[in-house]
Structures are given as C-alpha cells and as structure tokens.
Amino acid sequence: MNFTEYNFLIFFLVVFISYWLLKRRQWQNLLLLVASYGLYGWAHPWYAIMLGLSTLADYALALGIVQNRARTKWFMTASLLVNVGVLAFFKYYNFFSGGLVNALSGLGLQADPLLVKIILPMGLSFFSLKKLAYVIDVARGTLEPTRDLAGFALFVSFFPQVNSGPIDRAQKLLPQIQSDRVWKPENFYSAWPLIVMGFFKKVVIANTVIVAVDRVFSLRQPTIVLILMAALGFTLQILADFSAYTDISRGVARLFGFETTENFNNPYLSLTPTDFWNRWHITLSTWLRDYIFFPLRRALLRSKVKFPSWLVDAVPPLVTMLVSGIWHGAQLNYPVWGLYFGVLIVGYQAFGLGGNWKPPHWWTRLLAWLVMFIFIVVGWLIFRVPSLDWLFTMLRSSPFLGSPEEANMAFVTLFVVAIYAAPLIIKLLVDRFWKQDSLVHAAYYVMATLLMIVYLNSGSPDFIYYRY
C-alpha cells in the first residue's frame, strides 16, 4: 500500500485514533505490530509470514549468542544465512532463471512460470539489514538483546519504514518502543512539515519528472544530448522520490511518538564522493561503513601479511561500494554503479580530497561542486539505464544533437527539470535564510499544500526504492 493512496489514509486514521485511545504502552505496541504486519501483507499475505519467521529466527539467534558465547560464530553464520542468504535468493534468483529455463528446455522439460519467476518482497533489503545489524551488535557485545519479542518484531516491521527505511538501529528505535509515549501537540507541529514536503516532492515533482525521464529511456535511439537531459531529470526524480518517502515516514512516525533517523542532508551540494555518501541515504551509508568498510579496513591493517598502504586505502571503499551496488539488485549496471563511486572515492582520496575537504575560495568551491555534480549525474545515468548494453550502443551509434525536433525535445526535458527543481532550491534558500517559525516558511508550506492537492490523484506510481 503506497503512502499516496487513499487506502493508506484510511488505514492511517484508523490506526492513529485507536493508538492514542489506548493508554498502555503494551497495547499501543501490539496495535502497531498488528497494523504493520497487516500493511506489509496487504498485497501478498505470505510476505507477512516470511517477515515473521525471519524475525523469530534473529530474535532467537541473538539470545543464543549471549547464552552461549562460545558458539557466537555459529549463531552469526546462521543469521547471515537467514538475512543475506534469503536476500540473495530473492534478488538474484530471477537473474539466473533464464539459464534454468534453457537447461530444462534442453532436457525436454517445460518450466512452470511460477517456478521460474519469484516476486521480490517489498522492503526485504531494508529489514534484512536492520536484523543483521542487531545480531552483529549483540555478537560484538555493544548491544544487549531484548527479550521482548513483540517489541523486537515491531522494531523490524514498524510500518512507516518497513518498505524503504530509514534503516534505524536497534539502539535508537528499541528504547522508544519500550518507553511510554504520551500525545503532545509538538508531535503534530514537527510532523506536518515533513509530511507536506514528502507528499509535495513525490506527487508534484517526482511523479511529473518521471514522465519525461521514462519517455527518453524507452526510445529506440535517443540523441546523446537527450540522454544527458534524461539523466539530469532522473537525478532530480530519485532525490525527490526517495527523500519524499523518508520525509513521510519520519512524519508519520512522529505522529505516533517516535523519532527516526534523517536519511538525506542536501546530497547534491557535496564537494567529494565521500561527502556525497555522508549525505545520501545516510542510514544505508552508515550501515555499510560500520559493518563492511571499518571491519575490512581493520582486517587489512591487522593482517599478518603486510599490505601496501595504497591497497589498504583502496580495497575497503571499492568493496563497500560494490556491495552497495549488489544490494540494489541483479542488473549488471548496479554493481558497475557501485564500483564507479568506489573508484571516485579512491581517486579523490589519492589526491588528498577526503570527505571534509573544502577549497578556500568561493570560486574553487563552485568548481569543485560542479565537477562532483557532473560525476553524480553520470552515476545516476549508469544506475537508471535499461542495461549497460543499451547505454554503450546509444553512445556509439546515437547522434549528438539530432534533428531540430530532437533538439527541441532535449530542451523541453531540460526545461521540465529546471521548473521542478526550482521548489527544492527555493526550500533550501528558505531554510538557510529564515527561521522555521517565520511567515516565509508558512507561506512556502501553504503553496506546497495547494500544489499537492492539485496534483494528487489515486494513480500515483510506487516509490522508486520499493523495488530494491
């Protein structure tokens, strides 16, 4: 069920009113748990069954670790199989299913379509990382496992974030689940701006820009300029779409008395690749940093084999970003996209341009920003194309500018991107130069609400990260 569907509004109102009518925390948690499983299993009930079984498994494995520390590695391996194994199966089964069909055909057997095609459960990538981080932290001794099964299940399945994050850690969310929550007017006042901006970015910006972007990538042979304009459009679309989900998620969570993690911090203002990943999809970036980058780097530094310093510096970001690409899916362009950013990080660091690097003069900062923004757009082009073969074919055979009609189409695409990027730029300036309680902010949210109502319809497409 999409946040922008009318069904979700009805669902939310029923749960919200019932939740605050209940005075005891245990009943509130139980209501949220039932609502979360009901929403998650809305389309396919077996999704909820799979979520429940995997949650039970990690709950038991974490308790097993503290009860028998000698078998920590065994419990960790089991958790990896539960989370990474299941995730890899669902994400990559369809990638290899073509070979399965050919193999069965070679044996004279007809493949059952249900056997060949497996539907990826929504949110699997997100709650798998949640649970895996929980077990790893218990194994490290930095987190005491909870014995509250209902609380743990709610932490994993919390409906505002089960489909696309943020990937909150147990250290942040579990204490809130296990604490009493009382309605305060501040819950609404802090949630409303997030929800308005979320709906505005999704309904007005992302859902409009996607039309122009998808049209270009569906053409048989678009011009090079048109492909670049579409890449620029997707750069806007994916930021508006994904940050919209996070805004709505955080706003809805606040209405229930929960504070969840901010996931975006003006990522397109970054000056370096490291800075970009410190600002983009922050909860995934910190997960990769804490559970892949740092452990790998420590392993290389502590290894009995003396590795050269350049290798110690290069391998962790390359592997981390490759894993990030693989996490997104089975298409080849995803791991290539991850490696692309890994190479950028290594390249910038080789020249001493780390995450906190900032040029001394405004014009050098502007140049550094422009170069990094171009790198970001190229990265999103790799991420978005139907396939790498499609991209290479277009780059080899497509004309640069094409006919006057094609040039006009490229101009119109750029115009659409500029028009719909303007509200986000204005919001950035409003946040920077006016206080949150100013009339300027109020006027901005009024205009955003009016535009949202004009654009809102029941046919809003799913959020982009539902598919990952």
HSE-CB for 134 with a 13 A CA cutoff: 31
- What CA–CA distance (Å, rounded) separates 59 from 306? 39
Q: What angle do CA 292, 295, 297 make, to 5 degrees?
A: 100
Please report, for residues 240, 321, 417, the alpha-carbon distance to residue 422 in angstroms, rounded to integers and kept in the order given: 12, 31, 9
Note whether 218 and 166 are within 8 A (CB): no
> Can you give the pLDDT of all 468 residues of the chain as single tens digits?
678 788 888 999 999 999 999 989 999 999 999 999 999 888 788 889 999 999 999 999 999 999 998 898 999 999 999 898 888 887 776 655 444 445 445 555 554 444 445 566 778 889 999 999 999 999 999 999 999 999 999 999 999 998 887 999 999 999 999 999 999 999 999 999 999 999 999 999 999 999 999 999 988 889 999 999 999 999 999 999 999 999 999 999 999 999 999 999 999 999 999 999 999 999 999 999 999 999 999 999 988 888 888 899 999 999 999 999 999 887 899 999 999 999 999 999 998 887 778 888 889 999 999 999 999 999 999 999 998 998 999 888 888 888 888 888 889 999 999 999 999 999 999 988 888 878 998 899 999 988 888 887 655 666 766 665
Name the active-site residue from 44, 281, 328, 361.
328
The whole-model pTM stands at: 0.90
The DSSP symbol for 355 reads: T
Handedness of CA 355, 263, 366, 342 (dihedral sign): positive
Q: Is 441 a catalytic residue?
A: no
pLDDT computed for residue 91 by the predictor? 75
Q: What is the pLDDT of residue 467?
A: 64
Cis peptide preceding 335, ω within 30 of 0: no
Sign of CA dihedral 377, 322, 210, 428: negative
Q: Is 183 helix (H, G, I), strand (E, B) or coil?
A: coil
Question: What confidence score (pLDDT) does residue 104 get?
Answer: 47
Mapped onto helix, strand or coil, the DSSP state of residue 110 is coil
Token output for 67: 């009860």
Burial class (CB in 10 A: 0-12, 13-18, 19+), 92: middle
Phi-psi region of 219 (alpha: psi -120 to 50; beta: other; left: phi over 0): beta
Q: Which residues contact 443 (CB under 8 A, 6 or more apart)?
A: none
CB 312 within 8 A of CB 296: no
Per-residue tokens: 177: 């689940």
Residue 100 pLDDT? 46
pLDDT of amino acid 466: 61
pLDDT of residue 1: 66
Please count the residues of the chain: 468
Q: Give the Cα separation of 204 and 192 in Å (integer).
A: 17
- What single letter denotes the amino acid at residue 5? E
CB-CB contact of 4 with 452 (8 Å): no
